[in-house]
Structure 1
């Protein structure tokens, strides 16, 4: 076995992650090594300026099939990128750099913001955010731990 793999976290095809700086304690991500950039469900995206820097304000429904739970977020805008979706559509999306927490480890990741209402997951974790840190077991699901409905209700009171 390759020695470099020893320190890497093994994750399944989907995992619960968190974005502490956005007050999102739990959002289920689809793991997609075919996607370069990570993407988060966001609506009501508004660009604004704070201290001469570009920022975005947006709302997130972190739980799939649940529009009642809404988290209001703000983050510094780092870029705009044209992203080609799996359906082939191109979309100019805002990009933020945010602390991502997965399996008890936190690191900064770039995430594009887009409406993912029609997608199976509110979050897609792309390969740029995983590089050097993660190995994927495509057979596994939530290898780092499942979240019960009660625990989700508790964190999203």
Structure 2
């Protein structure tokens, strides 16, 4: 009887151990299955992510190529636009200069600019002249003036040079009258200035005209042309300068 009980206990223990082992194996198998499933899912996810990353890289590369092409086209367009603007400005400037120098006559009158070359026949030289419609009489630079008599008439000798080192153009001319000039800076004070007649030429206009002699060394223009020279034959366009070239003495008739 005792042996039977021991036998039964042993058998029960063996069955219990076998059951526990079976249970442990089942749990392990489930864990392995779950791990394999998770690994498979991770692998699929990784492959999907890598595929999406490759697609993104390809899209980015394509976009970079498009941006590069657009940048190149933009640079070409900007260069073309810049060249077109420069050409337009050049043409406009050329047309502007042409318009200003081409028209030199209107209604049988010569059109002068605000400054022109003035050829003084006695000196056989060209001088810069200011064309001033506000001045009644012309004036010319005269330094080292010396009055004297010749054949019972009053004459004056003066130097027309306008700057240091310039050739001294000594001119002698008969005094036709004395002009009394009132200076605006000194009210009531009069200055006497000799007036002479000189033959001058501007462009195609040439004749004798009166000049008041005065020291103009402090002024930009040694010659000022007033209305007495321009009357009836000249129009003035103040937007122009030096419409006519220097007159050549050899061409003077």
TM-score band w.r.t. shorter chain: 0.7 to 0.9
The corresponding residue for 2:238 is 138
| Stretches of structure 1 lacking an aligned partner (at least 5 in a row) | 152-157
Q: Equivalent residue of 1:75, what SS?
A: strand
1:41-80 correspondence to structure 2 within 5 Å: 41-62=141-162, 65-80=163-178
Give 1 or 2: higher strand fraction: 1
Q: What is the alpha-carbon distance in structure 2 between the residues aligned to residue 26 and residue 32 of structure 1? A: 18
The corresponding residue for 2:108 is 7
Q: What is the alpha-carbon distance in structure 1 between the residues aligned to residue 178 and residue 124 of structure 2? A: 22
TM-align CA RMSD: 2.0
| Structure of greater Rg | 2
The corresponding residue for 2:129 is 29
Q: Which has the higher contact order (CA 8 A, sep 6+)?
A: 1
Normalised TM-score (structure 1): 0.81
Cα distance change, pair 76–146 in 1 and its aligned pair in 2 (3 A): closer
CA-CA distance at 1:83 after TM superposition: 2.5
Give 1 or 2: higher helix fraction: 2
The corresponding residue for 2:220 is 120
Q: Equivalent residue of 2:191, what SS?
A: strand
Normalised TM-score (structure 2): 0.52
Q: How many residues are treated as equivalent by the alignment?
A: 140
Q: Equivalent residue of 2:228, what SS?
A: helix
Spell out, residue by residue over 1:13-49, the C-alpha distance to the aligned partner (whole angstroms, 9 max, x if none).
00001111x2242011001111111010000111111
Q: Equivalent residue of 2:107, what SS?
A: helix
| Stretches of structure 2 lacking an aligned partner (at least 5 in a row) | 1-105, 249-253
